[in-house]
A and B are shown apart, each in its own frame.
Chain A
Amino acid sequence: MLRKIATNRRQFWDYIMGNMAAFIAIASTALFLAIILFMWGESRPIWVLQGFNFVGGTEWNPVGHPPQLGIASMIAGTLWVALGAMVLAAPIGFGCAIFLAEFAPVWLARILRPILNILTGIPSVVYGFLGAAVLVKFFEKTFNQASGESLFCASLVLTIMILPFIVANSESALRAIPREYRQSALALGVSHQYLTIKVLVPLAKKGMFGSLVLAFGRAAGETMAVLMVAGNNLLMPTAWFDKGEPIPALIALEVGSAEVGSPHYQALFASGLVLIIFIAAINLFTNLLMQSTRNGGSWR
C-alpha cells in the first residue's frame, strides 16, 4: 500500500515536471512568434498606408512632409553585401572544408579547427573595426579615393565572418558520407582528389549548399561590421564598389533618433519585419532541406 502511494507520488511529480518542461518549451518558442507579431503590430500603419510601395520605393526621407518611406535601396544593399560575401566565401570555405575532411595532415587539422573556433568567437564589432581601420584605409590609399567604404569592403569583412560556419557545416556534411563510397572508389584505383571531386562532393552537395545558405542568412542580418564599413549611403547601389546602407545598419543608426509612434519609427519596424521574415524563410528552407537529407533523401 505504502509502496503504491510512493510510486503514485513519483509518477505525479514526473507528470508535473514533464508538463512544466513542455510549458516552458512552448513559452520559449512563443517568444519567436511574439517578436514577429510585435514587429507587425508596431509597423501595421505602414503596411496599411503604403503596402508594397514600402518595399519597392527607393526614396527614404522619413522626416520630410509627407515622409517618403521606401527601403528598396536598403534591400538591394543587404542582398548585394550578403550575396557578395557568399560568392567570396564559397570557394575558400568549401576548399578548406575539403582540406580538413580529406587532405589535411592530422597535426595541421588540430591547429586549424581551434582557429576556426576562435574566428567564430571574435565579436562582429571587432571585425567591423578592423575592416574600417585597415581595409577601408587600404582602399583609400591604393585607389586614391576620398573614402574607401563600400559594399565590397563590407562583403570582404563578412566573408571572413561567415567562413568558419561554412567550413564547419560542409566538413560535417563530407564526413557524414558512409565509408563504403570511399573504400570502393579507392579500390578502383582512382586518386584521392578524383574521389573527392567526383564522388564525395556530389554526395555532400546538399549539406554544403545548406551551409552556404545559412551563412547567407547570417551575413544578411549582420549589423556592426556592415554599419562600420558599408558607407551608410541612402542612394540605390548600382555597383559592388558603391556605398550602401543595408537594413540592419539602417535600423541601428536611426532607431534611437526616431520619434516614437511616428511614421519613421513604424517604417523602421517594417524594415525589421522584412528582414526577419526573409531570414526566417531562409532558415526554414535550409532546415527542411537538411531534414530531407537526413531522412535518407538523396544517397541512402
Chain B
Amino acid sequence: MIIRRYLDFIWLSLFWASGLLILLVLSAMLAYLIWRGGPALSLEFLTASPRGIPLGAQGGVYPAIKGTFYLVLIAVVTAGIPGIITAIYLTEYGMQSSLKEIVNLTVQCMAGIPSIITGLFVYAFLVVQLKWGMCLMAGGIALGIMVLPVIVLTTRDAFLAVDNNYRWLGASLGVSRGYMFLRVILPQSVPAVLSGLLLAMGYAAGATAPIMVTAAVISSNSSGAWFEPVMALPYHLYILFSEHTSMDKAYGTALLLVLLLLVVNIIALWIRSWQGRDFHNDFRPK
C-alpha cells in the first residue's frame, strides 16, 4: 500500500513536471528573444530598408514586412476560395458518397506534405517550366498550396460545428441546400471560418521553405509587382543568420516575426470566441 502511494506520488510529479517544462520552455524562449531582439526593434527598423555591408547589417526590414504581407495575401486568396468551396462540398453536398471519403482522406494527406516539397513543385512547374522566374506570384501560390489543406480542414470543422438540426429542418421544409447554407449555416460559422483563415495566414507568414526557392531574395524593394521577386521576413531571418550578417538584426527580425504571429493568433482566438453569439435573430429556442 505504501509502495502504491509512493508510485502515485512519483507519477503525479512526473505529470506536473512535464506540464511545467513546456511552460518553462516557451517563457524562456520568449524572454530570450525579447532580451536579445528588443534593442534592435525601433521605428527605423520597421520603416527603413536594409543597408550596410554586408547588406542588412544596418537599416531595417520594411521591404521584408511588405513582401511577407503580399505573399500572405496572395496565398490566402488563391487557397481560400477553393478551400472553402471544398469544405462546403464536404459538409453540405458530399452526403455519404465515397468521393467525399476520398476527398477527406486526400486532404489529410495533403496536410502532411512537407513544405519544401511544395516549394520544389512550384519551383519546377512555375519558376522553371512556365519561365516565371523567382517572383511574388510563384511564392504566393506555393504558400497557397501549403495552406489549402489547413483552410479546408478548419472551415470544414466550422461548418460541421453548426447544429445538424438546422439541416434536417431545412430539408423537411423543402428549402434547397444552397439556400440553407447561405442563409443559415454560413452566418453561424463566419467567426470560425475567419479565425481559420487568419491561422492559415499566420502559418503562411512564417513559412520559409516554400518561398526560399520560388520568391524570396536577399534584397528587393518588394514593390508588389506580381512577377518581381520579393523580400520576406522569415527568409530575411535565415539569410541574416546563415550569412553571418548581423546577429542583433537577426534577433530583432525573429522577435518581430514572433510578435506578428502572436498578434495574428490572438486575434484568431478572439474572433473564434464570437462563435455561438447570435448573428441573426434565428429561431433557436431561447
User: A residues within 8 Å of B by Cβ?
Assistant: 10-11, 13-14, 17-18, 20-22, 24-29, 31-33, 35, 38-39, 42, 91-96, 98-100, 102-104, 108, 111-112, 114-119, 121-126, 128-130, 132-134, 160, 163, 167, 191-194, 196-197, 214, 217-218, 220-224, 228, 248, 251-252, 255-256, 260, 268-269, 272, 275-276, 279-280, 282-284, 287
Min CB–CB distance A121 → chain B (angstroms): 5
Min CB–CB distance A171 → chain B (angstroms): 11
Min CB–CB distance A20 → chain B (angstroms): 8
The reply to whether B124 and A42 contact each other, CB–CB distance below 8 Å, is yes
User: B residues within 8 Å of A by Cβ?
Assistant: 4, 7-8, 11-12, 14-19, 21-23, 25-26, 29, 32-33, 82-83, 85-86, 88-90, 92-94, 99, 102-103, 105-121, 123-125, 128, 145, 148, 152, 176-179, 199, 202-203, 205-209, 212-213, 234-235, 237-238, 241-242, 247, 250-251, 254, 257-258, 261-262, 264-265, 269
Q: List 5 A-B contacts (CB under 8 A).
A: A121-B202, A132-B241, A192-B8, A251-B117, A272-B117
Compute how far the CA of A111 lies from the CA of B23 in the bound complex, rounded to whole angstroms: 9
Beyond A28-B152, A31-B148, whether A223 also contacts B208 by CB under 8 A is: yes
The reply to whether A92 and B116 contact each other, CB–CB distance below 8 Å, is no
The reply to whether B86 and A35 contact each other, CB–CB distance below 8 Å, is no
Compute how far the CA of A103 lies from the CA of B125 in the bound complex, rounded to whole angstroms: 51
Majority-rule SS of B interface residues: helix
Min CB–CB distance A291 → chain B (angstroms): 9
Residue among A39, A102, A125, A191 facing the most chain B CB atoms (10 A cut-off): A125
Q: Which residue of A lies closest to B265 (CB)?
A: A121
Min CB–CB distance B132 → chain A (angstroms): 14
Other-chain residue from A26, A132, A218 in contact with B112 (beta carbon distance below 8 A): A218
Compute how far the CA of A283 lies from the CA of B93 in the bound complex, rounded to whole angstroms: 26
